[in-house]
């Protein structure tokens, strides 16, 4: 079972990487048709206006994934199956292509989750830094290194005041009026 799963993951990974690389080459070769995202005036992705470009990318990805999958089954595009490991498990070429065509989207998601994990670490570091600053102030000390770490070493005169407020706030009702981050608050 584990062997089948390992072989399955390795096969999808191999076809997906192949698809990703070839789609990247196609995007580089035809940037206007394949790579240039349509954006709205506010620089957001225009989901409606960009749909034909996305469809073209999906189509190229599927064709590449299909060819790559079929190459593992003697180029039997419709009736072929790819053998996984030595236990006899197989996956039809068509379904392998569908699974693997995620290509760039799949890898973007992997990178996105890795990036989010890094951001969470940074958040934890900043929270620790802010907590240290609050404790130091409560003890009558002037925090230096930790406060600067949270602030990125910048010396905006308003930074210390803002960090002090951030560490002392409790969650307000959603519709509470005004902000407690004002200098006079």
Partner 1 sequence: MPDPVIATVEIPPGPGSLSVELSSPLTPQALAGVLWRYSADETPEGQAGAFTPALNSVPIGALSSIRNKFFLIEGTVLHHNDPQPVPYQVVVSIVRDGHALHTEVPPEQGTGQIKDQNMPFVYRFQIKEAV
Which residues here bind partner 1, judged by CB under 8 A?
37, 42-45, 47, 105, 108-109, 111-113, 115-116, 119-120, 122-123, 126-127, 130, 149-154, 156-159, 161-163, 165-166, 169, 171-175, 177-185
Cα separation, 81 vs 79, in Å, equals 7
* CB of 86 vs partner 1, minimal distance in Å: 32
Nearer to partner 1 by Cβ, of 9 and 47: the residue is 47
Selection from 6, 18, 20, 14 nearest residue 106 by Cα? 20
Helical segments of 49-176, H only: 51-70, 93-100, 103-138, 145-151, 159-168
* CB of 175 vs partner 1, minimal distance in Å: 5
Nearer to partner 1 by Cβ, of 2 and 175: the residue is 175
* CB of 133 vs partner 1, minimal distance in Å: 11
Cβ atoms of residues 172 and 180 within 8 Å: yes
Nearer to partner 1 by Cβ, of 79 and 179: the residue is 179
Nearer to partner 1 by Cβ, of 25 and 181: the residue is 181
Per the structure block, which two tokens stand in for 137? 């102030």
* CB of 95 vs partner 1, minimal distance in Å: 19
Number of other residues whose CB lies within 10 A of the CB of residue 146: 20
Cβ atoms of residues 147 and 133 within 8 Å: yes
């Amino acid at each position: 079972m584990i062997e089948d799963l390992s072989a399955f993951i390795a096969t999808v990974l191999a076809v997906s990487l192949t698809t990703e690389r070839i789609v990247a080459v196609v995007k580089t070769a035809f940037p206007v048709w394949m790579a240039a995202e349509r954006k709205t005036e506010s620089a957001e992705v225009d989901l409606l206006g960009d749909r034909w470009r996305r469809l073209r990318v999906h189509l190229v990805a599927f064709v590449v994934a299909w060819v790559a999958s079929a190459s593992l089954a003697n180029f039997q595009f419709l009736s072929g199956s790819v053998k996984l490991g030595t236990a006899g498990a197989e996956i039809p070429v068509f379904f392998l292509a569908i699974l693997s065509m995620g290509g760039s989207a799949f890898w973007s998601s992997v990178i996105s989750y890795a990036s989010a994990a890094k951001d969470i670490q940074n958040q934890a570091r900043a929270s620790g830094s802010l907590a240290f600053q609050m404790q130091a102030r409560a003890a009558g000390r002037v925090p230096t290194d930790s406060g600067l770490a949270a602030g990125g070493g910048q010396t905006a005169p308003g930074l210390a005041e803002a960090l002090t407020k951030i560490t002392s706030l409790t969650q307000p009702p959603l519709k509470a009026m005004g902000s407690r981050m004002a200098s006079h608050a």
